[in-house]
């Protein structure tokens, strides 16, 4: 589970290289049991000790594919 972030980042970067857009979704955490049941029913995938850890939506972007602009330092930190 510790490497899920690295795997998702690599997958996202590869999608971008291939011209696809992607979005790492976390909403599945609220419906993991239901989603796992659908995957089992429709795809036939079921394995002991496996669970849904992450979902990545992948598709063809409607517009130009680019990363968002970086925020300035003042936008991301506060000194108290």
For residue 55, list its beta bridge partners: 25
Domain count, the chain: 1
Please return the burial class of 16, using the count of CB atoms within 10 Å of its CB with bins 0-12, 13-18 and 19+: middle
22 in Cβ contact with 56 (< 8 Å): yes
Q: pTM (2 decimals)?
A: 0.61
Domain extent at residue 71: 4-76
Helix, strand, coil tally for the chain in percent (to 5): 40, 10, 45
pLDDT of 1 higher than 60 = no
CATH, residue 55: 3.40.109.10
pLDDT of 15 higher than 60 = yes
Average pLDDT, the chain: 85
| pLDDT of amino acid 53 | 81
Q: Which of 1-5, 8-12, 15-19, 51-55 has the lowest mean pLDDT?
A: 1-5
Model confidence over 30-62: pLDDT tens digits?
888 888 899 889 988 888 888 788 889 999 988
Return the biggest CA–CA distance within the chain.
54
Give the DSSP letter of residue 74: H
Q: Which two tokens stand for residue 36?
A: 């796992």
Q: Which two tokens stand for residue 75?
A: 């936008």
């Amino acid at each position: 589970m510790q490497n899920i972030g690295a795997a998702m980042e690599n997958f996202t970067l590869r999608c971008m290289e291939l011209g696809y857009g992607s979005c790492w979704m976390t909403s599945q955490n609220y419906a993991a049991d239901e989603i796992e049941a659908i995957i089992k029913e429709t795809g036939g995938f079921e394995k002991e000790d496996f669970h849904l850890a992450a979902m990545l939506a992948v598709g063809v972007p409607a517009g130009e594919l680019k990363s968002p602009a970086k925020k300035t330092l003042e936008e991301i930190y506060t000194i108290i």
